Structure 1
Amino acid sequence: MTIILIISILIILIVIFLSVLTVNKGYAYKHTIDPAPESDEYPDDSK
Structure 2
Amino acid sequence: MYTVMVVSIIIVIIVLLLAVITTSKAYSYKHTVDPIDDNPYISQEEDEKNKS
TM-score after normalising by structure 1: 0.72
The corresponding residue for 2:26 is 26
TM-score after normalising by structure 2: 0.66
**Which sections of structure 1, spanning at least 5 residues, go unmatched?**
43-47
Partner-residue secondary structure (3-state), 2:4: helix
The corresponding residue for 1:5 is 5
The letter of the residue matching 1:13 is I
Q: Which runs of 4+ in 1 moved over 4 A?
A: none
More helix by share: 2
**Which sections of structure 2, spanning at least 5 residues, go unmatched?**
38-42, 47-52
Residue-by-residue CA offset, 1:1-47 (whole Å, 9 max, x unaligned): 0100000000000000000011001000000112343xxx66xxxxx
Q: Which has the higher contact order (CA 8 A, sep 6+)?
A: 2
